[in-house]
Chains A and B, each alone.
Chain A
């Protein structure tokens, strides 16, 4: 089966650092994505990991451990506009070999002044 877990909600203060964790169990792993989604809008791509380790992209970094089925998204120097849902998604081969994204429920991040 496929299962992706992430916390439902987190709060943080402007300027701080926050880490959003994601654990997953899938049958055909081929990469892990993080998306940002503001209410009523489409998910927008933040980062992608397929090999173990840390990928850094400005204020955002993402880490992957395939052996542990674990990833995290690290957001530095938080800004008010970072208040959004953060979606962890695993790219899964599926039964046909074609790839689809399997999403977690998302973590709603509230950044306060």
Chain B
């Protein structure tokens, strides 16, 4: 069964550093998403991406965040100048109907 692949599975970073989270969506999907889940809280929408541009973003997705599709397969989330409160699971999802989620990247900012 096709799956969404995310790397790395875990990332520890110093406060103030930049991180890039990587995702390989399912190959024939056209809609891509990033969600995050702070420990013990609900899954929150960050951004959706279609046709090589952002289609919608939440209030969380401020200038600290950016997304890119640098080639035909990868989809990345960059977080600049990380803060302690950015510690969370970050899920990539792709869709042609229902969202299929990747296994997530656990980001810990110390």
The secondary-structure label for the interface of chain A is loop
A42 touching B45 in the complex, CB below 8 Å, given contacts A98-B56, A100-B56: no
List residues 36-55 of chain B with CB under 8 A from any CB of chain A: 41-45, 48, 50, 55
Which residue of A40, A44, A48, A105 is within 8 Å of B42 (Cβ)? A105
Tally the A-B contacts, defined by beta carbons under 8 Å. 53
A102 touching B45 in the complex, CB below 8 Å, given contacts A42-B91, A96-B55: yes
In angstroms, Cα B106 to Cα A33, docked, is 24
Identify 16 new A-B residue pairs, CB closer than 8 A, beyond the known A42-B102, A96-B56: A40-B106, A42-B91, A43-B43, A43-B91, A45-B99, A48-B98, A96-B55, A99-B31, A99-B48, A100-B48, A101-B35, A101-B93, A101-B99, A103-B42, A103-B45, A105-B42
Tell me if A95 counts as interface (CB < 8 A to partner B): yes
Instruction: Categorize the interface residue count of chain B.
Output: 20 to 34
B71: min CB distance to chain A, Å: 23
In angstroms, Cα B91 to Cα A71, docked, is 25
A111: min CB distance to chain B, Å: 20
In angstroms, Cα B44 to Cα A48, docked, is 19
Supply 20 A–B pairs (Cβ within 8 Å), ascending by A: A33-B99, A41-B103, A42-B101, A42-B102, A42-B103, A43-B43, A44-B101, A45-B99, A45-B100, A87-B43, A95-B56, A96-B56, A98-B48, A98-B50, A99-B95, A100-B33, A100-B45, A101-B93, A103-B44, A103-B45
A97: min CB distance to chain B, Å: 8
Determine the chain A residues whose CB is within 8 A of the CB of B42 once the complex forms: 87, 103-106
Pair B98/A45 contact, Cβ less than 8 Å: yes
Residue of A nearest to B4 (CB): A42
In angstroms, Cα B45 to Cα A96, docked, is 15
Tell me if B25 counts as interface (CB < 8 A to partner A): no
9 nearest A-B residue pairs (beta carbon)? A98-B55, A42-B101, A103-B43, A105-B42, A100-B45, A96-B56, A103-B42, A94-B56, A42-B103
Determine the chain B residues whose CB is within 8 A of the CB of A43 once the complex forms: 43, 91, 101
0/1 per residue, B10-48, Cβ < 8 Å to A? Answer: 000000000000000000000101010000011111001
